[in-house]
Amino acid sequence: MEMKLKTLPLGVVGAALAAAGMIGYSLAPEKLWLVTMVEGLALLCLILFFIAHFQSLKTFSSRRSTRMGANSLIMVALMIGILTIANFLAARHSLRWDFSENQNFSLAPQTHRVLRSLPRDVKITVFTREKDPGYQSYKERLDSYRQASSKIAVEFIDPERQPKSAQSYGITRTDTAIFESGAQTIRVTNPSEAELTGALMRVSKDEKKRILFLEGHGEHSLDDRERSGFSSARDLLTRQGYEVNTISLLTKTGVPDRTAILALAGPRKPITTEELDRIRVYIERGGRLLLMVDPDSQADLTPLLSRWGLGLGPGVLVDLQDRLAQGDLTALLVRTFTEHEITQDLNAAVLFPLARHITFDEQAGKDWDYVPLARTSPNSWAETDLKGRVVSLNEKEDVKGPLPMAAALAPKTPPAEGKPRPAMVVIGNSAFATNGFVNFPGNSDFLLHATGWLGEDRELLAIGPRDQALRPFVPNPIQERTLLYVQVIFLPTLLFIAGITVWRKRRRL
């Protein structure tokens, strides 16, 4: 097709102006008037070019080669259109699969529950640079949060490029995230899922539920960072949006009204009758009690617990099956749970070192719903004499298993409308929540589940969010012996027999 030289520049100029308009809009979208003018000129040039070449274009389009080329162009245009639509839908309705070994890019069930129940919008401003160590972790996790909830807004700010914004928030270090919702503001310096989800829970609530730990009887200290302390448990509960403090009923006339949970974490010394009466009054008014008592405790809680049919059994639990392999006979690795809201999502064993069992009198507690949460195996008992470290069951003195070492109690009849419903969780061990054991797989989950049920926080009944890490397989003694026989005896013997068989066959050839 021949073209007149005087009309050729119209097409070139039109295409150049169209490209310039698109580039200009991507670089300076705020100058829309300039982009509109450039695109208008481009459209005018292309229309004039089409008019000037109308007859030539008509002749050109009637050729067989043109029709075949047009079919190819249409197929290419259709493929581009399909890819464009697919990418558009993927951007609007993204679907992701996590094939990593430890599910590092998947949100925990608790996080999904928190995101679904957010009462209002949350703005997250992350002050970080692309070269900072926390940038990628923040980006990957917060992208998942944003995709799971439309109420999450995320903005990344480089404090070096925008120092005024960093100064307005008082940022003194990078890799810091600011959560804002309503009048609440939470600052996070760790991009772990536990920290981010905990911040979401705290910033979206105007009022925090309070957990008070009783003190004055040798309980584990919330400020103690040694192995026997409860500082990790306190930090864990604080990240879940609780206000955690201590209380002494020796100086108080009663438990404060706004107390969501009263916790007794391993009392060792006797508790006075006046204190027990104040705890009883708190429960009867609809209070919630978390009781963790060790076997060697001198705190006699029978006058308090017997009112509801509960009791703390004698001796120390010994389990020859569900225990920590190569560990002490009293280090129970509990895998047997009863169906309950507290245990519904537990998928890891809970380590109870040196535990006692819980008893229940159905006659005294006939008005209460008693549910044993965790039990020992049938090959267990409550050893009443550990002086000689006896490993055999004494039918006359010991108590044969299986035995519960944790139980939940709630009234069978719902309370009157508007009145709180009392509840209790009694655990025959407190060491499982200390700094030395709370990070064991399952221990922190069990603690969070128990407090979540007592505090009536349904979103806390899922597995607590945490950084996914490689968790070693911890066999019990039976599994350990099975692995020993298979790996050390059976497989080498089988390989030796196969080798001898092949050797004999080759000798006969």
18-32, 385-399, 427-441, 461-475: least confidently modelled range: 461-475
The CATH code of the domain at 208-461 is 3.40.50
For 12, the 3-state DSSP assignment is helix
Is the model's pLDDT at 295 over the cut of 70? Answer: yes
Is the model's pLDDT at 111 over the cut of 80? Answer: yes
What pLDDT sits at residue 440?
Answer: 83
* Residue percentage of the chain with pLDDT more than 70: 80
pLDDT top residue among 468 and 226: 226
pLDDT top residue among 121 and 478: 121
What pLDDT sits at residue 466?
Answer: 47
- CATH class for the region spanning 109-188: alpha beta
What pLDDT sits at residue 469?
Answer: 46
Domain definitions of the chain by residue range: 8-92, 109-188, 208-461, 483-509
Is the model's pLDDT at 190 over the cut of 60? Answer: yes
Is the model's pLDDT at 309 over the cut of 50? Answer: yes
What pLDDT sits at residue 78?
Answer: 55
* C-beta of residue 377 within 8 angstroms of C-beta of residue 321: yes
Is the model's pLDDT at 90 over the cut of 50? Answer: yes
| Average pLDDT score over the chain | 82
Confidence band of 292 (pLDDT split at 50, 70, 90):
very high
Is the model's pLDDT at 221 over the cut of 80? Answer: yes
Query: For 51, what's the count of Cα atoms within 13 Å in the CB-facing half-sphere?
Result: 7
**What does the pLDDT look like over 236-276, one tens digit per residue?**
888 777 889 999 998 888 999 889 999 999 999 999 999 99
Is the model's pLDDT at 82 over the cut of 70? Answer: no
What pLDDT sits at residue 389?
Answer: 57
Sheet architecture: strand order including 184-188: 152-157, 122-127, 176-181, 184-188
What pLDDT sits at residue 403?
Answer: 93
Confidence band of 509 (pLDDT split at 50, 70, 90):
low
Is the model's pLDDT at 178 over the cut of 60? Answer: yes
- Burial class (CB within 10 angstroms; exposed 0-12, middle 13-18, buried 19+) of 146: middle
Q: Residue 468 CB: number of other CB atoms within 10 A?
A: 16
Is the model's pLDDT at 47 over the cut of 90? Answer: no
What pLDDT sits at residue 495?
Answer: 87
Query: For 368, what's the count of Cα atoms within 13 Å in the CB-facing half-sphere?
Result: 25
What pLDDT sits at residue 457?
Answer: 67
Backbone φ and ψ for 83, nearest 5 degrees, come out as -65, -40
What pLDDT sits at residue 5?
Answer: 40
Backbone φ and ψ for 14, nearest 5 degrees, come out as -60, -45
Residue whose C-alpha is closest to residue 265's, from 238, 234, 305: 234
Mean pLDDT on 345-361: 88
Confidence band of 465 (pLDDT split at 50, 70, 90):
very low
Q: Determine which helix (DSSP H) or strand (DSSP E) holds 61, and give its type and residue range.
A: helix 54-61
Is the model's pLDDT at 42 over the cut of 50? Answer: yes
Confidence band of 355 (pLDDT split at 50, 70, 90):
very high
For 276, the 3-state DSSP assignment is helix
* C-beta of residue 448 within 8 angstroms of C-beta of residue 419: no
**What does the pLDDT look like over 25-35, one tens digit per residue?**
667 766 667 77
Q: Residue 147 CB: number of other CB atoms within 10 A?
A: 15
* Type of residue numbered 480: E
What pLDDT sits at residue 95?
Answer: 57
Residues with Cβ within 8 Å of 67's Cβ and at least 6 positions away in sequence, in order, are 61
Backbone φ and ψ for 176, nearest 5 degrees, come out as -120, 130
For 43, the 3-state DSSP assignment is helix
Q: Residue 271 CB: number of other CB atoms within 10 A?
A: 22
Query: For 508, what's the count of Cα atoms within 13 Å in the CB-facing half-sphere?
Result: 6
Q: Residue 472 CB: number of other CB atoms within 10 A?
A: 7
